[in-house]
Amino acid sequence: MGGRSPLRAVACAAALAVCAVPPAATSARPSVASATPPTVKQLVAFKSGRVVDKTVRASATRVRVEGRRCAVGEGTALASLVRARPGRIGLTDYGSCTARPRDAGGLYVRSIRNERARGLSGWVYKVGARLATAGAADPAGAFGNGRLRAGRRVTWFYCRTRNASCQRTLGAEPAGEAGGATVTVRGYDDDGKSVPVAGATVRTGGAEAVTDAAGRATLKLAPGTYRVRAQKSGLVASFREKVIVP
């Protein structure tokens, strides 16, 4: 993130300030609204460790900001967040939002429930494994190259900024096998680069295990279909991943 706080980068983009974003982010045209809003996987991770994990349709919506009703376009990260209904969402408008979605680029998520931005720490979002460089309702998309596509994963989490970076987000990769499943856990930084994570707990179906130095853990499970999640204190929990045990 160029040595800047990721929270500051997103807030800066929302405020329409001069930010060091990729050239595509400044030149791409907003995508045209589709006939069917995209269905995306949405995860919201709170400081407490609680996770809201849902599949939602990122339909166009309206939000109340400073006494006004503002339009949020379909296929944006803010639309998917609102549709996930994680609790009360507090917004600040650094631009001039109106009844037109194209004016929503300055909206900034300052709080979800009672967890508010403090100093350089606060709410940010990733699309896939990369931290977004634009505001969540920016009509040009998270990276300036278009809105969310169907099947994309959006992770909202409270960034605890340290050394100008957020904590890593976890990804779990389970593989079913006779008698159970082997789960590989990796941690992704702001740029989407990953490392194996030791000491993460993986859980499903009443079973749990802790990853070794290579980021692997083995779960003993009866035949069936399961959903596995990885968690570790100080890091952001993974999505639930499907695994079939033969």
| pLDDT on residue 205 | 83
- Could you tell me the CA-to-CA distances from 50 to 34, 86, 120, 225 in Å, in that order? 33, 11, 22, 24
| Tokens encoding 12 | 């800066």
Residue-range domains of the chain with CATH: 6-21+37-159 (2.170.130.30), 169-245 (2.60.40.10)
175-198: burial string, b at 16+ Cβ within 10 Å, e else = ebeeebbbbbbbbbbbeeebeebb
| pLDDT on residue 177 | 96
For every one of its 246 residues, what pLDDT tens digit does the chain have, with 9 covering 90 and above?
444 455 655 554 444 332 333 333 323 333 444 569 999 999 999 998 999 999 999 999 999 998 999 999 999 999 999 999 999 999 999 999 999 999 999 999 999 999 999 999 999 999 999 999 999 999 999 999 999 999 999 999 999 999 999 999 999 999 999 999 999 999 999 999 999 999 999 999 899 999 999 999 999 999 999 999 999 999 999 999 999 999
- Could you tell me the CA-to-CA distances from 238 to 83, 140, 182, 214, 218 in Å, in that order? 20, 27, 16, 17, 17
| pLDDT on residue 34 | 53
| pLDDT on residue 4 | 46
| Tokens encoding 46 | 């709170």
Decide: 180 and 221 in contact? Cβ < 8 Å: yes
Decide: 55 and 38 in contact? Cβ < 8 Å: no
Decide: 177 and 204 in contact? Cβ < 8 Å: no
State the greatest distance between any 2 C-alpha atoms of the chain, in Å, as a whole number.
58
| pLDDT on residue 23 | 31
Decide: 95 and 103 in contact? Cβ < 8 Å: yes
Of 131, 130, 77, which Cα lies nearest the Cα of 107? Answer: 77
Whole-structure pTM over 0.75, yes or no? yes
Of 104, 133, 125, which Cα lies nearest the Cα of 23? Answer: 133
